[in-house]
Chain A
Amino acid sequence: QAVVTQEPSVTVSPGGTVTLTCGSSTGTVTSGHYPYWFQQKPGQAPRTLIYDTTNKHSWTPARFSGSLLGGKAALTLSGAQPEDEAFYYCLLSYTGARGVFGGGTKLTVL
């Protein structure tokens, strides 16, 4: 099974910009991996921010965006807010529509 890697922890200043990445042990992440990004706050279920690399849901704040960057999937937060402090998980899809989550990134806004 593929291993999906994320930064364990990242810190961003309020109002700052940060990019979280999601890599695959199988090689370059492409749109064919249909990258998802999820936000999870303590005691809550995850919620989807980005699907299929770049697409946002109606509830996704405009300051979040998804892309492919340097062979990885990326989640960029522009103008970090205190309420963005959370865990962020990516999910990649592999052969047979099997998904693999990354280990998650703890984002601190400080």
Chain B
Amino acid sequence: QMQLVQSGSELKKPGASVKVYCKASGYKLISYVINWVRQAPGQGLEWMGRINTNTRNPTYAQGFTGRFVFSLDTSVSTAYLQISSLKAEDTAMYYCAGDAFDIWGQGTMVNVSS
């Protein structure tokens, strides 16, 4: 069964960095796209961008450039989201999702608080 399994919740201080992983289980990240989606507490979904596992080319949505980096390690079928210089407003659930959003990870809660 194909699944995306994400890393556990994180508690970080403002200014720190966090790296969230999204591991594909039951299939390999070949010729695929991983989307990243953010959901702040009580808010809607925001498409952050995507990364192509063939070209390794990331596409970032407006508002998610600079501090947000998508990366891959296809040898372990894992995609990563790194956020640097964390701010309180980065507190959110972060989801990875497959190419056609057919598969979603369970989400990773990132809390940024001093």
Contact = CB atoms under 8 A, between A and B. Distances in A.
A21 to B, nearest CB: 16
B101 A51 contact: yes
Nearest to A97: B59
B100 A48 contact: yes
Interface size class of A (residues with CB under 8 A): 20 to 34
A99 B35 CA distance: 10
B102 A101 contact: no
Interface in A13-54: 36, 38, 40, 45-48, 51
Interface size class of B (residues with CB under 8 A): 20 to 34
Nearest to A96: B59
A24 to B, nearest CB: 14
Contacts of B11: none
B27 interface: no
A104 interface: yes
A101 B46 CA distance: 6
